[in-house]
Structure 1
Amino acid sequence: MTRRIALSIFFFTLTLIGFGQRINTREEYIEKYAPLAVSEMIRTGVPASITLAQACLESGDGNSELSVKSNNHFGIKCKSSWRGKRVYHDDDAKGECFRKYRSVEASFVDHSDFLTLNSRYAGLFTLDLTDYKGWARGLKKAGYATNPHYANLLIKIIEDHKLFLYDEGLDKSQIARIQQSNQPVDGRNLINPYQARKVVLRNDLRSIVVKKGDTFQKIAQEFDLKEWEIYAYNDYQKGQQPQENEILYVEPKHRKAKKSHKTHRLESDDTMHFISQRYGVKLKRLYRLNRLKPGERPKVGSFVYLRKKKPRR
């Protein structure tokens, strides 16, 4: 979030007060959307504390003009891959394009998908679910926001409101008791119900992010699979090994992407295999959808079709 967004939140809040519209407090905002953040954590592996802290910061606790008018609670800009509705808002530059959502829930879901499907954030998913400081610093390093203090702002929100508790799998009554307590809580002493390896749903398929030292043999043993299954599920030849921070599936990929992902605009360093892994689509099927021979690559800037066959010229 930039200084300009912070100022716009301030002046828009004054406008709301002037028209008599009720302003959310941070505590109310967290209580309202914590279940949604936890649900997204279970679905994708993005810590609930990070989701809530970003939402508080980017949306001004749901009071910013962008969040009120467009349900955009994370300041996500359109980008080339966005096919939904758009709004234009002054940010780093005048009249920048931002995503518009039908509901706040849709904004939370898109935020999770934005992180899980973007290769620049892949390294975050190798961190422990409870490492909120690592996630906050990783988001800043990956370029989520231009504010040089972005990571520290997120960490302060998480620690001030004990949001790390939502990452620990505690139920609502346990969280409420600790939130109301004046005693400090050491999150490391709480029981972490999650395994060391996070399994994230992509295209409704179970996937992992490769850690340093991982091999196909090791991953196959961990998930009680045959080694050839890991190769087949991820369109690899026998003898190859995965790369650190790469997405791998532990079940067969689908023949098409989710409805929300119809096409992908090819960037300079994208490969067809990368796109296949990013969206959970079989590589051979991806070639057929785009009328390509195996090994061919579309031109940079062109669209790769993910659900329907590319129209003939």
Structure 2
Amino acid sequence: MIKKIVLLLVILALASCSSSKPAIATTKKAAAVQRPRVAATKKTTPAKPIGKNYPSTNNTTEVIQSTSKTVVTSDLINNYILQYQEIAVGNMKTYGIPASIILAQGILESGAGRGDLAVEANNHFGIKCHKDWLGESVRHDDDSAQECFRKYPQASESYRDHALFLVGKKRYESLFKYEKDDYKAWAKGLRACGYATDPNYPDKLISYIERYNLHQYDCQVTGKTYVAINKTAPTRTSTSVVYSDPKINMNSNDPNLYEVQKGDTLYSISKKFNLLVDDLKRKNNLTDNAISIGQRLKVK
């Protein structure tokens, strides 16, 4: 009888153990179901292209094809012009080359400063080494593979060498018979003298000059009255309006622009308009802190 009772208790104990096992298994399955949900959350966190800075709808894009293929926007081209306009005007005064031609060639040959040669060698005019070049050089594919191009310590040296190149080469003598501000004759003459092999080279230069009102810089030197061809492009002849703070000069045609004054820095301008320096640089596609007097910056 005692044996039967003991046996019965053992059977009841085993039965109770077996009935609890499914609950444990169910708990493990539930835990396993939760793991993928945690992983899915982690995968979604790197998705940060939401804050990517896309160009505005009025900021047109184009491809510049010269010594390299470069995609640029109209804003980048305008910033390039503002950055080098004073050098171009100075070279026109010193060497007699139209500032409009200098800037148009700079835009085309350097991809508005973004082309391979401009980035790697500060070469903004696609000038090759030639036999008389004693400076540094880089190799780059152009008309032939791995041709020798001049390398400069800074972009301003490229602008100076471009002027000396045209003045010093006998084959460009005929250019200086044209009027200083006759940019169409200069554009066609450069192609005729062999500066470029592209048959559309003159048309490309003239297009940049007229789309971005580059002829205004010729008029600054000659003293002639400039009449804008492209009414939408900014010109230096436009007047300024002074707001309540006399230190903040805004362009009357666009209240979102600020014209750089003597003594301004990116930091001081950012403080005037409650911006971060990085935001100011991003708005204007600036890669460094260099700005020049008369340059117009987006501040809104």
TM-score (norm 1): 0.50
Residues 6/63 of structure 1: CA separation in 2 closer, same or farther (3 Å cut): same
Residues 179/150 of structure 1: CA separation in 2 closer, same or farther (3 Å cut): closer
Residues 161/81 of structure 1: CA separation in 2 closer, same or farther (3 Å cut): same
Q: Secondary structure at the match of 2:202?
A: helix
Alignment partners' CA distance in 2, 1:167 and 1:4? 24
Question: Is 1:37 paired with 2:97?
Answer: no
Gaps of 5+ in 1: 15-21, 186-313
Residues 67/23 of structure 1: CA separation in 2 closer, same or farther (3 Å cut): farther
The offset of 1:162, in angstroms, is: 1.2
Residues 104/4 of structure 1: CA separation in 2 closer, same or farther (3 Å cut): closer
Q: What whole-Å deviation, never above 9, does each CA across 1:29-88 have from its counterpart, x for those lacking one?
A: 011101110011111001100000000000000000110110000000000000000100
2:107 match: 56
User: Is the contact between residue 37 and residue 52 of structure 1 (CA under 8 Å) also seen in structure 2?
Assistant: yes
The offset of 1:6, in angstroms, is: 3.9
Alignment partners' CA distance in 1, 2:98 and 2:174? 14
The total of aligned residue pairs comes to 170
1:169 match: 220
- What RMSD over aligned residues (CA atoms) do the two structures have, in Å? 3.1
Alignment partners' CA distance in 1, 2:148 and 2:167? 22
Residues 9/23 of structure 1: CA separation in 2 closer, same or farther (3 Å cut): farther
Question: Is 1:8 paired with 2:47?
Answer: no
Q: Secondary structure at the match of 1:25?
A: helix
| 1:172-183 to 2 correspondences below 5 Å | 181-182=231-232
Q: Secondary structure at the match of 1:137?
A: helix
User: Is the contact between residue 9 and residue 63 of structure 1 (CA under 8 Å) also seen in structure 2?
Assistant: no
Alignment partners' CA distance in 1, 2:158 and 2:211? 24
The offset of 1:9, in angstroms, is: 2.6
2:195 match: 144
Find the partner of 2:148 among 97, 105, 110. 97
Which residue identity lines up with residue 125 of structure 1 in the other structure? F
Alignment partners' CA distance in 2, 1:80 and 1:7? 20
Which residue identity lines up with residue 25 of structure 1 in the other structure? L
1:243 match: none
Alignment partners' CA distance in 1, 2:77 and 2:170? 31
1:86 match: 137
Alignment partners' CA distance in 2, 1:179 and 1:31? 18
Which residue identity lines up with residue 82 of structure 2 in the other structure? E
TM-score (norm 2): 0.52
User: Is the contact between residue 71 and residue 102 of structure 1 (CA under 8 Å) also seen in structure 2?
Assistant: yes
The offset of 1:126, in angstroms, is: 1.0
Residues 182/142 of structure 1: CA separation in 2 closer, same or farther (3 Å cut): same
| 1:219-234 to 2 correspondences below 5 Å | none
| 1:1-313 to 2 correspondences below 5 Å | 6=66, 8-10=68-70, 25-169=76-220, 181-182=231-232
Alignment partners' CA distance in 1, 2:161 and 2:68? 23
Residues 23/120 of structure 1: CA separation in 2 closer, same or farther (3 Å cut): same
Residues 40/113 of structure 1: CA separation in 2 closer, same or farther (3 Å cut): same
Residues 85/166 of structure 1: CA separation in 2 closer, same or farther (3 Å cut): same
2:39 match: none
Residues 170/112 of structure 1: CA separation in 2 closer, same or farther (3 Å cut): closer
User: Is the contact between residue 80 and residue 107 of structure 2 (CA under 8 Å) also seen in structure 1?
Assistant: yes
Q: Secondary structure at the match of 1:80?
A: coil
Residues 119/63 of structure 1: CA separation in 2 closer, same or farther (3 Å cut): same
Which residue identity lines up with residue 169 of structure 1 in the other structure? Q
**Greater helix share, 1 or 2?**
2
User: Is the contact between residue 77 and residue 98 of structure 1 (CA under 8 Å) also seen in structure 2?
Assistant: yes
